[in-house]
Amino acid sequence: MEKEQKVEGERAAAAAAATQRWVIGVGFWVQGFRLFPWLGVNFFLKDAMGVPSSSLQILQASATLPMVAKPLLGLLSDAVPIRGCRRLPYVAIGALLQAVSWLGIALWPSLSLPVLTIFLLLSNFGASICEVANDAIVAEAGKQATSSSGGQLQSFACMFGASAGALGNLLGGIALSYFSPKLMFLFFAIVLVLQFFTTVAIPESSLKLPKATTNTSVISSIRKQTKELSYALCMPEIFWSVIWFSVSYAAIPFLLGTMFFYQTEVLRLDSSIIGLSKVFGQVALLAWSMAYNKCFKTTSARKVLSALQFITAVVMLSDVLFVQGVYRKVGISDSLYTIVFSGLLEGLMFFKVLPFSVLIASLCPSGCEGSVMAFVMSALALSIIISGYLGVALAEFMGVSGDDFSALPVCLLIEAACTMLPLFCSSWIKERKGKEKKEE
């Protein structure tokens, strides 16, 4: 009898694990595939709407503002269940909002820049809801795994997101050569509609996640989650690690929009080259996810994060030689460099997310995983927004514009130098061997 119960328990656990991986895989794949329409957005803004480089980068950064609301969404997801479920209903709502926004962009006649901005904000708001719920599922399911498999779900999610991003950029680069960006937006809206119906069809009980408490009011639940979030963020291990992680992005005046205009307007690179560049970055991110899970999972998070920060700065220094034509003189074409090194740089900017997510998930107190991971992703979004604004300010101060890129090498040197600064405070990344239990 005991053996039968044990076998049944193992079967139920295996079924729940399979369902968890299906839900996590679909959720992260669709969010990774968002790069498909966003590649079209860049060219749509530049070619169809005539937006200058500084305005393009400001719009790109500003469109991510809804991501800053992730802590609030995390609190809602943790404390306010919908029909007794805390995760999948939020994924479904986020997918539906995204579908509405991309349908609006694709079908709206005579689309103006303000209307486009509103739709992009709505899209990212829906994406932030999905990401908060998906991150919470990964954190909660990961805690149920054995210690020997710790971090595997994070790696699994990252691999699915990276593979979808690679496919999205590859198809996007090809699609831009044959179709209008609006058809790309329509196609992605259909993908989101399919995600919505798929998510609705899956009962959350099959995931075997911690159940929501039903004997407390919404207000008291939110207060409880807010208190637990405050407790978690005040833990030195989490507080200082999040500060360093945020500074490692916010301190960089990232010149993404400026480099996009330099590659397309000065070098006259085709959209397929830009797409292949982003594909290479996503493939590199996928390879890193696999390598981290196999080789670096047990390595000190401080060492891994510091090494990634240093490598990012080195690649940025390489961009200085690129814009000065050094690589062209030694036989490396602009197209090849853009595909490999520019793509690698975009991927490197997100390499740190995986080891940092594993670190925070291991430190996070039980019961507020969604809120803490949402806060971390919110801090990342805000840091990227600040980085984008700093990049625009640096380019404007140095006189870099769509017609004059003479000061771009100096800007890239400043960008690389700022990337090195967080290395001097890497001691802020805190770790501990065993997680202390929270006192009631």
Each domain of the chain, given as residue ranges in start order, spans 1-202, 220-430
pLDDT > 70 fraction of the chain, expressed in percent and rounded? 90
pLDDT at 151: 59
From the CB of residue 399, how many other CB atoms can be counted at a distance below 10 Å?
A: 12
Cβ distance 102 to 185 under 8 Å?
yes
Q: Where are the alpha helices (DSSP H) in 364-439?
A: 369-397, 408-420
The answer to whether the predicted template modeling score (pTM) of the entire model surpasses 0.85 is no
Structure-token pair, residue 43: 């060219």
Residue with tokens 């602009």: 334
Q: Where are the alpha helices (DSSP H) in 145-235?
A: 152-178, 181-200, 218-233
Q: At what angle do helices 113-144 and 152-178 cross, to 10 degrees?
A: 150
Residue 8's alpha-carbon distances to 18, 67, 83, 142, in angstroms, are 15, 41, 28, 21
Beta bridge partners, 85, equal 82
The pLDDT tens digits for 146-200 are 444 455 777 788 788 888 888 888 888 888 888 889 999 999 999 999 999 999 8
Cβ distance 137 to 209 under 8 Å?
yes
Spatial distance between the Cα atoms of 199 and 196, rounded to a whole number of angstroms:
5
220-430 shares the fold of 1-202: yes
Structure-token pair, residue 125: 């708001």
pLDDT at 440: 36
Residue with tokens 């690389």: 416
Q: Please name the residues in contact with 258: beta carbons below 8 A apart, sequence gap of 6 or more.
A: 53, 57, 391, 395, 400, 405, 408, 411
Give yes or no for residue 215 having a pLDDT over 60. no
Burial class (CB in 10 A: 0-12, 13-18, 19+), 217: exposed
The pLDDT tens digits for 98-128 are 999 999 999 998 888 889 999 999 999 999 9
Give yes or no for residue 259 having a pLDDT over 70. yes
Cβ distance 30 to 126 under 8 Å?
no
Residue 150 backbone zone (phi > 0: left; psi -120 to 50: alpha; other: beta): beta
Does the domain formed by 220-430 have CATH 1.20.1250.20? yes
Higher pLDDT, 346 or 315: 315
Give yes or no for residue 397 having a pLDDT over 60. yes
Spatial distance between the Cα atoms of 356 and 386, rounded to a whole number of angstroms:
20
Structure-token pair, residue 128: 């932030």
Give yes or no for residue 54 having a pLDDT over 80. no
DSSP 3-state assignment of 209?
coil
- Which amino acid, residue 212? A
Beta bridge partners, 82, equal 85
Summarize the confidence of residues 246-259 as an average pLDDT: 90
- State the average pLDDT for the chain: 84
The pLDDT tens digits for 285-309 are 888 888 888 888 888 889 999 999 9
Q: Please name the residues in contact with 113: beta carbons below 8 A apart, sequence gap of 6 or more.
A: 49, 51
Q: Please name the residues in contact with 264: beta carbons below 8 A apart, sequence gap of 6 or more.
A: 46, 271, 274
Structure-token pair, residue 328: 């062209």
pLDDT at 423: 93
Spatial distance between the Cα atoms of 39 and 175, rounded to a whole number of angstroms:
10
Architecture of domain 1-202: Up-down Bundle (1.20)
pLDDT at 23: 87
Spatial distance between the Cα atoms of 143 and 73, rounded to a whole number of angstroms:
21
DSSP 3-state assignment of 436?
coil
The pLDDT tens digits for 74-104 are 778 777 788 878 788 999 999 999 999 999 9
Cβ distance 27 to 19 under 8 Å?
no
- The pLDDT-based confidence of 353 (bands split at 50, 70, 90) is confident
Q: Average the pLDDT over each of 166-180, 208-222, 347-361, 396-410 and give the range with the smallest value.
A: 208-222
DSSP-assigned letters across all residues of 88-133: HHHHHHHHHHHHHHHHHHHH-TT--HHHHHHHHHHHHHHHHHHHHH
Exposed e or buried b per residue across 5-33, where buried means at least 16 C-beta atoms within 10 angstroms of its C-beta: eeeeeeeeeeebbebbbebbbbbbbbbbb
Higher pLDDT, 200 or 17: 200
